[in-house]
Amino acid sequence: MKYLTFALAKGRLAREALQLFEDTGMPMKEMRDPDTRKLIFTNEELGLKMFLSKSSDVPTYVEYGAADIGVVGKDTLTEEGRKLYEVLDLGFGKCSMCVCGPAEAAEYLKHGRTIRVATKYPNTARDYFYNKKHQTVEIIKLHGSVELAPIVGLSEVIVDIVQTGTTLKENGLTVLEEICPVSARVVVNQVSMKMQNERIMKIIRDLKEAVS
Ligand code: PRP
């Protein structure tokens, strides 16, 4: 049997996905050990391989067919814009993509001023401001702790995901506009979907039943 390979976005999404895989008869016990430094795991009996990767790399592995199936947030899928099939919303990892900043920054969004927007999601931010709001902005790419940007004067606002809202609250920031909801999605390589259709469709059906 040919292996089916899964790429999972490291962190909370992977933990929830591994629980779900276990519930649907695809246990990968070794992978749930938080101390392991191993990168790829195999279930010989079921013909499965799974690996964890940085979330922004999951769509890349899946587009190139290095993984047949991926589990990754909708935020990353939208940002990466890779060619793959998005087949299932798993309903966990829920959060929102938002424009955030100090409450006073709301004015800048109304009057179409040229403002600076710091974000880990430059494509998403560009699309929102240019195509939806028709506002000219300067996008500043950051790699983390984006909430710092308006506090230290790097930008007027940020585009980032908000889950509990704690990071914003603890830093005196607020949601100014909501861009879109986000949750964990299952994605499939386009060739794998054709070549291993029956096997992949069964997995999707089982996952769908388990999350519905
Ligand atoms: C994410 C996101 C926010 C925070 C939102 O950051 O970029 O900073 O979580 O969560 P909250 O609304 O529950 O506070 P992450 O923890 O991934 O770290 P990073 O900013 O360094 O990427």
Domain positions in the chain are 4-93+183-211, 95-180
47: tokens are 């013909």
CB-based contact 105:176 (threshold 8 Å): yes
Q: Which of 98, 93, 97 is nearest to 75 (CA)?
A: 97
Rounded Cα gap, residues 139 and 198, in angstroms:
43
Q: Identify the residues whose C-beta falls under 6 Å from ligand 1.
A: 144-147, 160-167
Return the pLDDT at 43: 93
Could you identify the atom of ligand 1 that is nearest to the CA of residue 161?
A: 2
Cβ-count burial of 116 within 10 angstroms (0-12 exposed, 13-18 middle, 19+ buried)?
Answer: middle
pTM: 0.94
Given pLDDT bands bounded at 50, 70 and 90, which one contains residue 69?
very high
Give the architecture (CATH level 2) of 95-180. 3-Layer(aba) Sandwich (3.40)
Alpha-carbon torsion angle 158, 162, 165, 169, nearest 10: -10
Percent of the chain clearing pLDDT 90 (strictly above): 92
Could you identify the atom of ligand 1 that is nearest to the CA of residue 143?
A: 22
Give the number of other Cβ atoms within 10 Å of residue 156's Cβ.
Answer: 22
Compute the residue count for the chain: 212
**Closest C-alpha to ligand 1, atom 21:** 144
Return the pLDDT at 1: 73
Query: In the chain, where do the E strands start and end?
Result: 4-9, 40-43, 48-53, 69-73, 85-89, 95-101, 115-119, 137-141, 157-162, 174-182, 184-188
Query: In 54-94, where do the E strands start and end?
Result: 69-73, 85-89
Q: Which of 56, 151, 162 to mutate to test the pocket of ligand 1 (most atoms within 8 A of CB)?
A: 162
Q: Which of 75, 145, 157, 167 to mutate to test the pocket of ligand 1 (most atoms within 8 A of CB)?
A: 167
What is residue 101's three-state secondary structure? strand
**Per-residue pLDDT tens digits for 86-130:** 999 999 999 999 999 999 999 999 988 899 999 999 999 999 999
Given pLDDT bands bounded at 50, 70 and 90, which one contains residue 29?
confident
**Per-residue pLDDT tens digits for 160-206:** 999 999 999 999 999 999 999 999 999 999 999 999 999 999 999 99
Please state the rounded mean pLDDT for residues 70-98. 98
The mean pLDDT value of the chain amounts to 96
Return the pLDDT at 32: 82
- Report whether CATH 3.40.190.10 matches the domain 4-93+183-211: yes
Q: Which amino acid is at 140?
A: I
